[in-house]
Structure 1
């Protein structure tokens, strides 16, 4: 579906930006055997990401970025995911966080400008660290067990965070903690090189192994008052369009599986046939089913992104729609990869092909927020109200 993506590119600016994603995607694909085997994120891929100035794209233009629209963000993320979904999901968190900070004004100007300057000038990378062993996903409402205790003009931070994508490669972490003197949840900007900050290699999963989402360990980390960048009670409860980078990633994995399945079908000819299997009716049926599923997913994802970009006054009403896109697209992506596996047959299980990796990686989309049950419940309550 590489050629079919071209109609989604609307102008020269998007073409220029898309070429950045193409180069990152190609580099990422070169390292997938190593990163999948060892559950690591490639330094070489990160080097290309920074050379392309990709980390600063979602910053406002006056802060040194490209003021990327949501539509453009998803277009680029999907392309990177066609090379390796782990890379797309990992760097997507960074770009999404910066988009959220830029659009929702969650930090004061000094705090945001400090981080934005380092991202724009040095392509530094940041991610939120919110998930914990005991609380699970922060979207479920658990209070962090990570604690921030005031000590004079400082805070002392102790705790452990799980699912910290690119943990070893991040320059900054935005860490959630229970702030004892405020008796509420806050977020601290923590420098990777701060004493007491370490990464423990714990990431050993079935899929998305290349995100290297290891544990972040915080042991008596001393922080200044100004490092407390967000407080929960002061945050606006707004729909998060940037989270559509999640379904864009899994859609990219599905497109890659579709492309490989078609290539396989056109070139595989068992000696029981006079033609490649692409000429067999039930194989064509599966290819056709992949196509209409992908067309639906593309339309829902990018149509919603255009609405977000073109109707900003309607964004506060889009929470259910955004959640429905995530549910629909990630589940569709899983169905498409399953069809690709069926086309490849037993060879789809072989490490000689990438089908089994797509199959493992796409499954992870069901565990990214918002989860299916939460979305279904949200939609039901909206309908009943």
Structure 2
């Protein structure tokens, strides 16, 4: 594994290199391979590989710093990186992957970027965190499994080395994930992604038709003590802050873009950069306040978890929502203050706002979080 350098200077260099191609990938919608390669060369895509596998074993706070830096460069690269880092972190903690499959993923990661993602949502069901069981099935077939079904919002598209596919075994109603190499026969991608933000993330639909897998490919998700199934993403947990971290990076990018424009813009009637006016200085302060708030919530929560403070666990979902609100507020404030230039595709701010808005789609979502928090407060 590449030696990790997580110094501020090293992360800033990664941010700048990834940012150099972000606008072009946003326009084309192609997978942002240039940015992915930058993250790979810096060893960031495998930062959470466990020490028992020869990896750096980066913890949640270092992971958050990595994803903030990548997200500041390009939110789509940040999302692809977050999904891969989350997978490696889960394997380090729980070791559920088949030995041969994980060894293969690590081998591919040595040779180049090897992206991996949990493929869970479905066109009819929607997000699993909302409840329900998948239609995607894993059926016994001799010594292995046959995988069939259609998934939606499968970030990474054809760039994925491995899929972690949420499915049900019809006969027993066992629910679990199947570890699926991305190059197997029977996998077909449907180009459905045409989104407001994260345009280069290639979050397309994918169809699995009689994909043959070995017997150890199925990793069961345990049910609750009462026998019911509750999706793990229904509430935020200690490992849930990778996605918020990358969007903090998006807010930081919006702050930088606002400041650069304000220093360069000299209206004829003013005769000096608008950065020298109290109005723009106050707006910059408001943007900074929102980012400071988001970063403090993010790292404060992770520090409390690191210290073993379990009292914060019921609050994690609300903290994710609060970070999201601050991220969006920072980007919206920057765009609103500049008027037309803030909405122009000749400036990066509109892209940062589009990307920032995507923080809302990651589970658990705000309405569900507020309902659960309200019931907890009221004791009902």
Query: How high is the TM-score relative to the length of structure 2?
Result: 0.90
| Residue aligning to 1:260 | 257
CA contact (8 A) 1:63 1:120 kept: no
SS at match of 1:131: coil
Structure 2 residue ranges without an equivalent (≥5): none
Which structure features the higher share of helix residues? 1
Return the alpha-carbon distance in structure 2 between the equivalents of residues 98 and 92 of structure 1.
10
Return the alpha-carbon distance in structure 2 between the equivalents of residues 301 and 30 of structure 1.
27
Q: How much has 1:15 moved relative to structure 2?
A: 5.6
User: Are 1:229 and 2:219 matched, yes or no?
Assistant: yes
CA contact (8 A) 2:304 2:312 kept: no
| Residue aligning to 2:301 | 304
Q: How much has 1:375 moved relative to structure 2?
A: 1.3
Moved over 3 A (4+): 13-24, 108-123, 234-239
Return the alpha-carbon distance in structure 2 between the equivalents of residues 309 and 68 of structure 1.
13
- Residues 376 and 109 of structure 1, relative CA distance in 2, 3 Å threshold: same
SS at match of 1:210: coil
CA contact (8 A) 1:17 1:76 kept: no
Return the alpha-carbon distance in structure 2 between the equivalents of residues 284 and 44 of structure 1.
35
**For the aligned residues, what is the CA RMSD?**
2.4
Q: How much has 1:284 moved relative to structure 2?
A: 1.9
CA contact (8 A) 2:190 2:207 kept: yes
CA contact (8 A) 2:44 2:66 kept: no
What does 1:345-364 correspond to in 2, within 5 Å?
A: 345-364=339-358
| Residue aligning to 1:248 | 245
Match for 2:78 among 83, 88, 92? Answer: 88
| Residue aligning to 1:215 | 205
Q: How much has 1:217 moved relative to structure 2?
A: 1.5
SS at match of 2:180: strand
Return the alpha-carbon distance in structure 2 between the equivalents of residues 36 and 60 of structure 1.
33
- Residues 108 and 365 of structure 1, relative CA distance in 2, 3 Å threshold: closer
- Residues 17 and 146 of structure 1, relative CA distance in 2, 3 Å threshold: farther
User: Are 1:40 and 2:30 matched, yes or no?
Assistant: yes
What does 1:166-177 correspond to in 2, within 5 Å?
A: 166-177=156-167
User: Are 1:201 and 2:191 matched, yes or no?
Assistant: yes
| Residue aligning to 1:7 | none
User: Are 1:107 and 2:101 matched, yes or no?
Assistant: no
What does 1:13-52 correspond to in 2, within 5 Å?
A: 16=6, 21-52=11-42
Q: Deviations over 1:335-369 (max 9, x none)?
A: 11111112322111111100111111111111111
Return the alpha-carbon distance in structure 2 between the equivalents of residues 113 and 84 of structure 1.
28
Match for 2:367 among 351, 368, 373? Answer: 373
Q: How much has 1:199 moved relative to structure 2?
A: 1.9
| Residue aligning to 2:316 | 322
Q: Deviations over 1:84-137 (max 9, x none)?
A: 11111221011012212322x161674685466436644532110001101111
Match for 1:146 among 129, 136, 150? Answer: 136
CA contact (8 A) 1:127 1:172 kept: yes
SS at match of 2:189: strand
Return the alpha-carbon distance in structure 1 between the equivalents of residues 305 and 108 of structure 2.
25
SS at match of 1:16: coil
